[in-house]
Structure 1
Amino acid sequence: MNLRKAIMATSLAALGWPLAASATNGYFAHGYGVRSIGVAGVSIALPQDGLAAATNPAGTLSVGNRLDLGVHLFRPDRGAAIRGNAYGADGDFSGNQTHNFLIPELGYARQASPDLAWGVAVYGNGGMNTDYDRNPFAAFGSRGKAGIDLQQLFVTPSVAFRPAVGHSVGAALTFAYQRFAATGLSAFEGMTANPGSVSDRGHDSSTGLGVKLGWLGQVLPDLRLGASWSSRIEMSEFDRYKGLFEGGGGFDIPASYGLGLAWQASPALTLAADWQRIEYSSVKSVGNPIQRLFAGGALGSDGGAGFGWNDVSVVKLGAVYAYDDRLTLRAGASRVQQPVPASQTFFNILAPGVVRNHYSLGGSFKVASGGEWSLAYMYAPKVTVSGSGSIPGSFGGGEATLHMREQMLSVGYSWAL
């Protein structure tokens, strides 16, 4: 298979298909690669395929020469309810006008020597989508359907080398491309620093570059540790939505970092764990609270209102069991802190990324031709966040409640090169 054509085809598919509505850990992906999905996203000290660099570029040296293609069918269930509103906004609202989302991915790794490897990963970093046929903001003057569509694509070339026996370090550049559209938000047009750039402007796009660094070390014969860091990616502005996002359309991708371990409990069984931190609040359009809107911080202004998200920590646990030479089984669970505070539920009707627990099963099966099929299934149970002081008096008061649950089915095929 021609690698350049495969990368181009996967990138175009990622841009052309509707991407994930929400990717479980806020709007970051649950994991990268079908094998990683099978262990709840564990990957910092457990590289399993050519997408290892999406989390830890040091893992590029550990996966051999390979090409991995995959696709995820993601099905979220999201919605909201409003109660006690003096303007007549009360009701239950489903954001599921669009149900299913496809997320393609590609990973490639090549060893240049026993101590040096390079690769490239193409993947969706998640995103956020809500699609309300019945507009939750209609009572406040909004028209038509309501919702947002945020899509993010990463292309990450990486290099890793071995400075000492049992240790590898890696670095990667990440090109990020994102698209965004918002509809049905005309009720907020009178509260922006840039009128006419809040809603119903079609899709806009932005780009940016970031850096990833990582380390992987065999510290004991049966214990491997890892660490990774991804820089904040400063994206170009969404000019069509400079009246919605803080700083005239800014929507950067926050920094993240983490630690991982993998323990070879037996010749057939590997147990692994990750801890990850995502700095959502450092991006003002994401982290600034909506209350700034009613204290002079207009939408789109410097320091203006945002979605009020908190930073989160994620703990992931996974197990990989080699049943025999052809069949490998996987299972995992993870838990993330709640990014959406109870006081911020009103504006987050548009972005109810509130699920917390995630459970995964998966497996890989080698075929006679030498390739390998992989499958994974992820389920995130329903979480409800009830508002507390969430709807301001100028909007008639009351409370907004958010809910979300998620399922994802993943399938991939790998070639050893």
Structure 2
Amino acid sequence: MQHKTLLGLGALGLCLAAGPALATNGMISHGYSPLDKAVAGATTAYHFDALVTATNPAGLAFVDDSLVAGVSLFMPDRHYSSAGDASPLFAIGPQQIQSSGDLFVIPAMAWAYRLDERQTLGLALYGNGGMNTRYEGGSATLFDANGNSMTLPGTFGDGTAGVDLKQMFINATYAHQFKDDQALALSLLLAGQSFKAYGISNFAGFSLDPDHLSDQGTDYAYGVGVKLGYQGKLTDALWLGAAYQPRIRMSNFDNYRGLFPDAGRFDVPAMANLGLAWQASDAWLWLLDVQHIFYSDVAAIANTADAMYSCMQGVSRACLGGSTSTGFGWQDMTVYKLGLQYQQADWSLRAGISYGKSPIRDSEILFNILSPGLIEWHYTLGASYQISDSLSLHGSYMYAPSNSLSGRNSLSGQAEGSQSQTLTIAMSQQELDLGLSWRF
């Protein structure tokens, strides 16, 4: 009997310049330029450089004519382990496998040009983290309806398994300072993303289109969105900022219309930011941000593994590729960020910390082996040196300590007497950023 029948289961040029692995706050980067990354991304109410438009476009109104460019060396460590047996459907291992690929180069750049004292234009290019895993080795055991089993190589019994999702944004911004130290702005976002998946074809039995589920190469999707922002002074020393980016509706990944809900749709989630900045003295600046990411609005990210059992009971829309099919089961995420800057002469020193509870439920471990977005804490440091009146050098470092989550294999079976298998996923991260800014 073919092993795909035995399993009967179901479950990311544009060659993007960025190549990140799974990002820091779920799939959203903790910051975009070396300066705001050094304060854990807490820049909704402040404006270090032209890349502020990635967080709050209104900050552009207070940026001089300038160009900023940076590059990140992103170093994630992600792995999973399994313990115990599972029946009557599917068991992984038991084993412990670490994902290969632990160094990614991520560029970002932005330009700002003041039309007059009130109006500023900006153009920025940056990426989100996306998802990236590649698990080599291991094995999986598949069961048929009579309890017969077959053990096959690979995390899901289909050889090397993994996914690669990348997102890139071109951000064109118009900012208007409508009175002294008060500004509103609008960004037009052109979004592109790429995706590929491999080693998961054993979920074909639960897909509406099994020929477009796995190993279909790299596919691309595009969308258009907006970001709105406000930034202004409440007092001589206190700034307030707010920004909102609605969900970006993306075109479908046609090559993977048998994997994601709604025949291959993977939208960019909405985000809302609120921040304060306090200039305590000429030397000291304090920053506080709250960011909410609406993962629950995107079916491919939010739908839970319960849909697999509905598919088995004949509900076609719950099968992979259907409108209510399984996603990664993520919840919304709220991130709290605190940053500090000390400036003296030609030097600026920065530090930051942020926390956001991981969006992954312990009931959704199985598919999140492919997307272990578990990072909760970020610790950041950075510095800038003004080389000349127009040129500055920037650097930052981020450390995200390991976080792990354990839960039941959701395909262990729901029947009485079914054995349960425990799966554990884990991730830690480091990132080094270097950049230059030029005022002209």
TM-score, length-normalised on structure 1?
0.93
**Aligned-partner Cα distance in 1 for 2:196–2:166:** 9
Among candidates 367, 390, 404, match of residue 384 of structure 1:
404
Partner of 1:196: 211
Given the alignment of the two structures, is residue 228 of structure 1 paired with residue 228 of structure 2, yes or no?
no
**Aligned-partner Cα distance in 2 for 1:309–1:88:** 23
Deviations 1:82-108 (A, max 9, x none): 111235523334343111101001111
1:397 shift after superposition:
3.5
Partner of 1:109: 112
**Aligned-partner Cα distance in 1 for 2:388–2:245:** 38
With over 3 angstroms needed to count, the CA separation of the structure-2 counterparts of 1:137 and 1:75, relative to structure 1, is: farther
TM-score, length-normalised on structure 2?
0.89
1:337 shift after superposition:
1.5
**Aligned-partner Cα distance in 1 for 2:403–2:335:** 16
Q: Is the 8 A contact 1:77 1:406 kept in 2?
A: yes
Partner of 1:133: 136
- Where do 1:166-245 residues align within 5 Å? 166-245=181-260
Answer with 87-96 or 345-354: which moved more. 87-96
Deviations 1:343-371 (A, max 9, x none): 00111000001010000000111114731
Q: Which amino acid aligns with 2:290?
A: W
Q: Which amino acid aligns with 1:76?
A: P
Deviations 1:276-326 (A, max 9, x none): 0000011011100011111121111111111100000000000011022x1
Partner of 1:40: 40
Given the alignment of the two structures, is residue 401 of structure 1 paired with residue 424 of structure 2, yes or no?
yes
Q: Is the 8 A contact 2:16 2:167 kept in 1?
A: no
Q: Provide the aligned length of Structure 1 versus Structure 2.
A: 404
Percent identity over the alignment is: 39
1:16 shift after superposition:
5.0
Larger Rg: 2
1:137 shift after superposition:
4.8
Among candidates 269, 275, 281, match of residue 254 of structure 1:
269
Partner of 1:331: 351
1:255 shift after superposition:
0.4
With over 3 angstroms needed to count, the CA separation of the structure-2 counterparts of 1:375 and 1:15, relative to structure 1, is: farther
**Aligned-partner Cα distance in 2 for 1:159–1:136:** 53
* SS class of match (1:290): coil
Q: Is the 8 A contact 1:327 1:365 kept in 2?
A: yes
Answer with 89-98 or 135-144: which moved more. 135-144
Q: Is the 8 A contact 2:97 2:138 kept in 1?
A: no
**Aligned-partner Cα distance in 2 for 1:137–1:368:** 60
- Where do 1:10-409 residues align within 5 Å? 15-17=15-17, 19-86=19-86, 89-135=92-138, 137=140, 139=151, 142-296=157-311, 297-324=318-345, 326-368=346-388, 370-388=390-408, 390-393=410-413, 397-409=420-432
Structure 1 unaligned spans of 5+: 1-11
Q: Which amino acid aligns with 2:114?
A: Q
Cα RMSD (Å) of the superposition? Answer: 1.7
**Aligned-partner Cα distance in 2 for 1:329–1:313:** 27
**Aligned-partner Cα distance in 1 for 2:289–2:237:** 17
